[in-house]
């Protein structure tokens, strides 16, 4: 987790001085029910409140989407602030001075470069925006009129124009920035003569703005027809990485302040985004670069749990959709595909058919498997045996990837309608496919045991009881040697350190020590639902014994191996005594020696 040099002690103190209820209530309306506060979750669309805030333990949990965290997590997700920005905000609010950060020279240098680059790019954005209204930008003005870009879109997307190769560099140098600063920002290149020139000169300029509202780069469109590249982006820099960047994500953040964002529509280019917004589809973005990445998913998940791919309807667009679906698999994002007519992009479709027709297509967007079957039908001639066989091979592969038998059954019926092959035969084909996929590479190969075995699950429950201060967790034996998972070991040490100091741990403290976004094993502990357990204390004792029993059996196995290999008779006798002692403990379920 990005702690930026702040110790857990400072963060714990800071959180004790702010009111999580007040901070969240300022952003979403909380309603008190008993000891807890409830609201509709701001992180997914819902009509019935399932977002719960625990005032005493100082954390929140949504029983709908599973999001949970402390006041810092909430502000980072809701406001899209960095960790440092969030801590600064809370410190100012609480009247607490920030401690001096222990930062390396390299960190300070990198931060200075990033800050300088952001400052340069924000200034350049303002220069380009002003240029769009100048006489020298007549080419850009005519083009925007032709594309029916209105004043609202011009301002929302901050569209500008680079009038020459040297204007921006000259103005920014007068403000005290060096040529190297301009190059580091990805704005200019330095020629052989040492003069800096605009990398995207004489182009229509689309600022690329991050979710904090800062310009991190530009995309420039050639209007002269003389460039081999119609669009050019800023080069990679300390602040711009196209594999992580989502165009118009800042407008999604603004939209979310006005209304709930049920889903986000992804299109291919800047003009598609602008046209979509112009036609009322303000929840539209585009991913920079040619390939969709895991980093794009992380950015989108901060704003929605449902996306609709609406890429171009040509061959390249459909291949890009298939690639994107592969990246999205297992992302926990709901995904649908809006299929446009052959050869059309969203801009062309809206110009031809209008917004209501597109809304119809979006409302009837396909699931990923529907889309794959749709493309497979288009690829193969189903009136021939050869085409039907090729289609079936692909269809079986798609259906076998579905996680549940009920989902598979639905699509098997669909494949049966298309091909006339009975569901029973199709089911057999799926089984054959799965057997082939799971066959070991060698006859002697054995499956490895899962780390998430019963003893780990039992340890999760024991730690949950300790964290939530259940009275029957006092006077426990030392469990350190029984915990094999490093994350659970660390949590146990934190809980025990609070106990040794005579302090009461609150659940919110866990968020000071871990990156909870990537620690599902801890989320289960923090959000443990004790209400579904009939007798908590009895179940706790059974879990505790399961942990110790597992360790005892492991020790017995190790001792048995040593006994078989030992030559010395005295040592063999001692090993037998040790094994007998463990057998007695296992028989009597004796915790006394622990």
Q: What does the pLDDT average to over 155-162?
A: 96
Give the least confident one: 75-79, 383-387, 445-449. Answer: 445-449
For the cut 80, the answer to whether the pLDDT of residue 259 exceeds it is no
Residues β-bridged to residue 336: 308
User: What pLDDT shows up at residue 186?
Assistant: 95
Give the H/E segment covering residue 352: helix 346-353
Going by pLDDT thresholds of 50, 70 and 90, the confidence category of residue 447 is: very low
pTM for the whole thing?
A: 0.65
Q: What does the pLDDT average to over 32-45?
A: 85
Contact call for residues 376 and 414 (beta carbons, < 8 A): no
User: What pLDDT shows up at residue 348?
Assistant: 92
User: What pLDDT shows up at residue 436?
Assistant: 52
φ, ψ of residue 41 in degrees (nearest 5): -65, 130
Going by the DSSP 8-state scheme, the letter that residue 367 receives in this structure is P
Does the fold of domain 454-588 match that of domain 242-366?
no
In order, the DSSP letters of 194-217 are S-EEETTTTEEEEEEE-TTS-EEE
Q: Which fold has domain 8-94?
A: DNA Primase; Chain A (3.90.580)
Rg of the chain over CA atoms, in angstroms?
30
Higher pLDDT, 350 or 487: 350
Give the H/E segment covering residue 235: none
110 contacts: CB under 8 Å, gap ≥ 6: 238
> Rounded to an integer, what distance in angstroms lies between the CA atom of residue 267 and that of residue 245?
14
For the cut 70, the answer to whether the pLDDT of residue 437 exceeds it is no
- CATH code matching the domain that covers 454-588, chosen among 3.40.50.980, 1.10.860.10, 1.10.3720.10, 1.20.1250.20: 1.10.860.10
H-assigned helices in 354-384: 355-363, 368-379
Pick the closest to residue 346 from 255, 256, 249, 280 (CA basis): 280
Higher pLDDT, 374 or 259: 374
In order, the DSSP letters of 81-107 are --HHHHHHHHHHHHT-PPPPP---HHH
> Rounded to an integer, what distance in angstroms lies between the CA atom of residue 293 and that of residue 298?
9
User: What pLDDT shows up at residue 434?
Assistant: 53
User: What pLDDT shows up at residue 101?
Assistant: 64
User: Widest CA span of the chain, in angstroms?
Assistant: 101
For the cut 50, the answer to whether the pLDDT of residue 448 exceeds it is no
User: What pLDDT shows up at residue 449?
Assistant: 35
Cα→Cα distances 166→96, 223, 527, 581, Å = 46, 18, 58, 85
> Rounded to an integer, what distance in angstroms lies between the CA atom of residue 566 and that of residue 348?
81
Quick: pLDDT tens for 383-411: 898 988 898 988 888 888 887 888 888 88
Quick: pLDDT tens for 291-345: 888 888 888 887 888 999 999 988 889 999 999 998 888 777 889 999 999 889 9
Structure tokens at 505: 């741990």
> Rounded to an integer, what distance in angstroms lies between the CA atom of residue 523 and that of residue 73?
13
Structure tokens at 340: 């446009």
User: What pLDDT shows up at residue 248?
Assistant: 95
User: What pLDDT shows up at residue 73?
Assistant: 92
> Rounded to an integer, what distance in angstroms lies between the CA atom of residue 355 and that of residue 482?
62
CATH architecture of 105-240: Alpha-Beta Complex (3.90)
485 contacts: CB under 8 Å, gap ≥ 6: 451, 456, 459, 521
User: What pLDDT shows up at residue 262?
Assistant: 84
> Rounded to an integer, what distance in angstroms lies between the CA atom of residue 144 and that of residue 161?
11
Quick: pLDDT tens for 521-552: 888 898 888 888 888 889 998 888 888 887 78
Pick the closest to residue 313 from 341, 336, 334, 337 (CA basis): 341
User: What pLDDT shows up at residue 404?
Assistant: 80
For the cut 90, the answer to whether the pLDDT of residue 442 exceeds it is no
Per-range mean pLDDT, top range of 37-46, 95-104, 452-461: 37-46
User: What pLDDT shows up at residue 452?
Assistant: 40
Structure tokens at 283: 């929840």
User: What pLDDT shows up at residue 107?
Assistant: 65
Q: What does the pLDDT average to over 542-567?
A: 84
For the cut 60, the answer to whether the pLDDT of residue 45 exceeds it is yes
For the cut 60, the answer to whether the pLDDT of residue 178 exceeds it is yes
Q: What does the pLDDT average to over 456-482?
A: 88
Quick: pLDDT tens for 503-516: 888 888 888 888 77
User: What pLDDT shows up at residue 244?
Assistant: 87
Higher pLDDT, 548 or 242: 242
User: What pLDDT shows up at residue 343?
Assistant: 86
Q: Tell me the average pLDDT of the chain.
A: 86
Residues β-bridged to residue 246: 287
Going by pLDDT thresholds of 50, 70 and 90, the confidence category of residue 224 is: confident
Q: Three-class SS string for 526-593?
A: HCCCHHHCCCHHHHHHHHHHHHHHHHHHHHHHHHHHHHHHCCCHHHHHHHHHHHHHHHHHHHHCCCCC
Higher pLDDT, 320 or 449: 320
Structure tokens at 384: 């021939």
Helix (H, G, I), strand (E, B) or coil at 355: helix
For the cut 60, the answer to whether the pLDDT of residue 454 exceeds it is no
Report domain extents, the chain: 8-94, 105-240, 242-366, 370-438, 454-588
For the cut 90, the answer to whether the pLDDT of residue 257 exceeds it is no
Cα→Cα distances 222→139, 167, 201, 244, 456, Å = 10, 17, 9, 24, 59
> Rounded to an integer, what distance in angstroms lies between the CA atom of residue 411 and that of residue 415?
6
Report how far apart the first and last C-alpha atoms of the chain are (Å, whole number). Answer: 35
Say whether domain 242-366 belongs to CATH 3.40.1360.10: yes
User: What pLDDT shows up at residue 98?
Assistant: 84
Residues β-bridged to residue 52: 38, 61
User: What pLDDT shows up at residue 208?
Assistant: 96
Going by the DSSP 8-state scheme, the letter that residue 161 receives in this structure is E
**% of the chain exceeding 70 in pLDDT:** 93
CATH code linked to domain 370-438: 1.20.50.20
Helix (H, G, I), strand (E, B) or coil at 301: helix
Quick: pLDDT tens for 57-66: 899 999 888 8
For the cut 50, the answer to whether the pLDDT of residue 205 exceeds it is yes
User: What pLDDT shows up at residue 137?
Assistant: 95
Q: What does the pLDDT average to over 39-50?
A: 84
User: What pLDDT shows up at residue 350?
Assistant: 94
């Amino acid at each position: 987790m990005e702690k930026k040099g702040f110790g857990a002690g400072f963060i714990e103190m800071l959180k004790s001085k702010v009111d999580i209820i007040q901070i969240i209530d300022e952003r979403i309306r909380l309603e008190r029910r008993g000891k807890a506060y409830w609201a509709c979750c701001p992180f997914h669309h819902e009509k019935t409140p399932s977002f719960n805030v625990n005032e005493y333990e100082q954390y929140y949990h949504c029983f709908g989407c599973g999001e949970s965290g402390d006041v810092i997590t909430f502000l980072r997700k809701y406001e899209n602030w960095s960790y440092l920005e969030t801590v600064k905000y809370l410190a100012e609010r609480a009247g607490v001075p920030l401690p001096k950060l222990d930062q390396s020279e390299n960190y300070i240098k990198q931060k200075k470069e990033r800050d300088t680059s952001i400052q340069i790019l924000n200034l350049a954005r303002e220069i380009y925006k002003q240029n769009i209204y100048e006489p020298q930008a007549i080419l850009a003005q005519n083009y925007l009129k032709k594309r029916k870009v209105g004043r609202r879109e011009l301002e929302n997307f901050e569209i500008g124009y680079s009038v020459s190769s040297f204007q921006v560099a000259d103005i920014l140098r007068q403000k005290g920035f060096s040529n190297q600063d301009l190059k580091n920002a990805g704005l200019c290149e330095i020629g052989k003569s040492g003069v800096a020139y605009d990398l995207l000169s004489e182009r229509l300029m689309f600022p690329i703005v991050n979710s904090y509202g800062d310009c991190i780069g530009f995309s420039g469109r050639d209007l002269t027809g003389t460039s081999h590249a119609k669009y050019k982006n800023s080069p990679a820099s300390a602040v711009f990485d196209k594999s992580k960047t989502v165009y118009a994500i800042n407008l999604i953040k603004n939209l979310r302040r006005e209304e709930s964002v049920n889903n986000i529509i992804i299109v291919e280019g800047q003009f598609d985004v602008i046209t979509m917004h112009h036609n009322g589809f303000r929840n539209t973005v585009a991913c920079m670069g040619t390939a969709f990445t895991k980093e794009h998913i992380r950015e989108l998940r901060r704003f929605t749990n449902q996306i609709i791919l609406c890429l171009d309807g040509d061959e390249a667009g459909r291949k890009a959709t298939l690639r994107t679906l592969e990246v999205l698999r297992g992302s926990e994002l709901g995904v649908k595909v809006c299929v446009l007519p052959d050869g059309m992009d969203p801009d062309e479709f809206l110009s031809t058919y209008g917004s209501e027709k597109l809304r119809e297509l979006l409302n009837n967007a396909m699931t990923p498997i529907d889309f794959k079957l749709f493309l497979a039908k288009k690829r193969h001639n189903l009136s021939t045996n050869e085409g039907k066989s090729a289609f079936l091979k692909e269809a079986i592969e798609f259906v076998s990837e579905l996680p549940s038998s009920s989902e598979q059954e639905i699509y098997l019926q669909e494949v049966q309608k298309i091909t006339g092959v009975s569901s029973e035969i199709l089911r057999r084909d799926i089984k054959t496919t799965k057997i082939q996929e799971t066959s070991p590479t060698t006859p002697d190969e054995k499956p490895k045991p899962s780390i998430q075995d019963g003893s780990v699950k039992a340890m999760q429950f024991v730690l949950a009881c300790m964290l939530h201060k259940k009275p029957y967790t006092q006077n426990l034996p030392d469990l350190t040697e029984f915990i094999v998972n490093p994350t659970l070991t660390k949590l146990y040490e934190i809980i025990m350190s609070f106990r040794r100091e005579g302090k009461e741990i609150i659940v919110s403290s866990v968020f000071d020590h871990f990156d909870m976004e990537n620690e599902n094993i801890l989320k289960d502990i923090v959000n443990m639902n004790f209400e579904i357990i009939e007798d908590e204390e009895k179940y706790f004792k059974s879990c505790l014994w399961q942990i110790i029993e597992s360790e005892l059996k492991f020790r017995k196995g190790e001792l048995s191996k040593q006994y078989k290999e030992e030559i010395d008779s005295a040592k063999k006798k001692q090993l037998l005594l040790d094994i007998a002692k463990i057998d007695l403990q296992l028989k009597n379920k004796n915790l006394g020696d622990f």
